[in-house]
Amino acid sequence: MKSAISRRDFLGATAGAAASATLLGISFLDALPAQATSSFVRRDVGGMSATDPVLVSYGKAVQAMQALPNTNPLSWAYQAAIHGTTLSGSNTAWDTCQHGNYFFWSWHRMYLYWFERIIRKMADDPCWSLPYWNYTSTAERTLPTPFRDATSPLFTSNRGAGWNTGAASFPSGDVQYSAALSLSNFTNGSSSVEQSPHNNVHVDIGGLMGVIDTAAQDPIFFLHHSNIDRLWDIWLAQTPGAGDPLGDTTWKSTQFTFFDENGNQVQMTGCEVLRAQQQLGYSYEGEPAQVSPKCLLIVLPPWVFTEEVFAQLPGPPVELTGETVSFPINLAELRKRIALVLEDKNKTIFLQLDEVETEKPPGVVWDVFVGLPEKAAPDTESPYFVGTLAMFGPGIRSSKHHNEPAHFSFPVSRALAAALKTDSERTAVTFVPHGVLINGKPSRPEVKSPVRIGKAKLIVETKEENKKQ
Ligand code: C2O
């Protein structure tokens, strides 16, 4: 009985589970939909004009919240501080955002859910839903126009150069998430999306958005995260074998604190935010049918993943600066073993960078290439492009959210396969810094703080059918 559960099973199980949960009076289980009867649709902001009722209400709420004192949980400052703050003092739930770990998607989903309810109340618009910014679409690579109007509450002057004039746009390589859609292991899929597009968008926009402690003060933050949340749904729906970590008790039951629209404290767990539509009452415009995982059903994950170190790469420590930097991979030595791994479709090779640290936010994104031929231009459309490195939170020593160095990992099977086709003895891992596009042209990257990569290795992940039934 390993097959996916049918839709009908889901519905049946939901009804049964809801009944028994009510009977037992257990409120933290996942079967109690908060808004099962409502159906909010989070729309794409692309093409919305400043007079769109969604943006009018959002602006009205932001203004009302900005007028409240910092100590009021419904104030703009307090809500932003729940994510991160530079304000002194500590208030309930401040500085609780989750980055660099497997709570990234779930914590931000909870945060948005309560934020959206607060906006509804503050705008006096009970039908309001948070829009999303689909910057991966080539039509939406500049900041949405209504957020650039200096007279709007959705504006802040504290953004990187060019965003508020419309000159700045995202380089294509910064807003990709196809790597994530190839990774069915939850932790890998989630951290891949956290790297790209998530961190890149923060760093590229810069200003308030560029730093964890201030990011949520910019009204565009919530449209960025609405999109990241949509990518959770898309990852589940489109990635073969993808699943939430329902066998992981800590992930399922860790409680996080927020405030509801009446200013009352609320707690939420992973189990309560698995199904956007059924439990939280919303879907995204244009998204595929939502997958509906259930905490109460003990369904074993279809796959188990194991990882082993394939090779330590002796190049690092290396320092990333404003110039292209690389360190070698000895292909002659690894060629045969790599070829063997590449033959097995259940194995994926990852490049993992460890002990990644910097003093303060570098303000730059690095494109990462594996196997780039010596004379080839660093093209993010080529098979050698494996992803991006952008520091946001973990690994930044001056940030409150720093508690350990950051790790980055990239699936590199495709890049290594391309590199093996050449007969060179050595190849390399290459880091190319870049700025945002200004009027469609690359701008010069200005690295505010170099990044040190302490260690690097290749890892092989093996995906096996889960035989325990
Ligand atoms: Cu918790 Cu995009 O940040």
Element (H, E) at 325: strand 325-330
Distance (Å) from CA 96 to ligand 1 centroid: 11
Distance (Å) from CA 119 to ligand 1 centroid: 19
Q: d(Cα 213, Cα 196) in Å, to the nearest integer?
A: 20
Distance (Å) from CA 116 to ligand 1 centroid: 16
Which pair of structure tokens corresponds to residue 460? Answer: 């092989």
Is the Cβ–Cβ distance between 391 and 358 less than 8 Å? yes
Which atom belonging to ligand 1 lies closest to the Cα atom of 201?
2
Residue 97 CB–ligand 1 contact under 6 Å: yes
**Per-residue confidence (pLDDT) for residue 12, from 0 to 100:** 31
CA angle 184, 170, 193 (to 5 degrees): 15
Phi and psi at residue 114, to the nearest 5°: -75, -35
Q: d(Cα 237, Cα 246) in Å, to the nearest integer?
A: 16
Is the Cβ–Cβ distance between 183 and 233 less than 8 Å? no
Residue 202 CB–ligand 1 contact under 6 Å: yes
Distance (Å) from CA 88 to ligand 1 centroid: 20
Q: d(Cα 227, Cα 216) in Å, to the nearest integer?
A: 15
Of 199, 178, 307, 190, residue with least CA distance to 245: 190
Residue 42 CB–ligand 1 contact under 6 Å: no
Residue 110 CB–ligand 1 contact under 6 Å: no
Which atom belonging to ligand 1 lies closest to the Cα atom of 199?
2
Q: d(Cα 270, Cα 249) in Å, to the nearest integer?
A: 10
Is the Cβ–Cβ distance between 39 and 282 less than 8 Å? yes
Is the Cβ–Cβ distance between 94 and 71 less than 8 Å? no
Atom 3 in ligand 1: residue holding the nearest Cα: 212
Distance (Å) from CA 455 to ligand 1 centroid: 26
Question: What letter does residue 290 receive in the DSSP assignment?
Answer: P
Which atom belonging to ligand 1 lies closest to the Cα atom of 98?
1
Is the Cβ–Cβ distance between 18 and 106 less than 8 Å? no
What contacts 223, CB < 8 A, 6 or more positions away?
Answer: 45, 130, 131, 132, 133, 144
Residue 460 CB–ligand 1 contact under 6 Å: no
Q: Please list the pLDDT of the chain residue by residue as tens digits (469 residues).
A: 233 333 323 333 333 333 333 333 333 444 444 444 568 999 999 989 999 999 999 999 999 999 999 999 999 999 999 999 998 888 999 999 999 999 999 999 999 999 999 999 999 999 999 999 999 999 999 999 999 999 999 999 999 999 999 999 999 999 999 999 999 999 999 999 999 999 999 999 999 999 999 999 999 999 999 999 999 999 999 999 899 999 899 999 999 999 999 999 999 999 999 999 999 999 999 999 999 899 976 667 778 899 999 999 999 999 999 999 999 999 999 999 999 999 999 999 999 999 999 999 999 999 999 999 988 899 999 999 999 999 998 999 988 776 789 999 999 999 999 999 988 888 999 999 999 999 999 999 999 999 999 999 999 999 998 876 5
- Exposed e or buried b per residue across 138-175, where buried means at least 16 C-beta atoms within 10 angstroms of its C-beta: eebbbbbebbbeeebbbbbeebbebbbeebbbbbebbb
Q: d(Cα 75, Cα 67) in Å, to the nearest integer?
A: 7
Q: What is the pTM of this model?
A: 0.91
- Whose tokens are 């930097």? That residue is 325
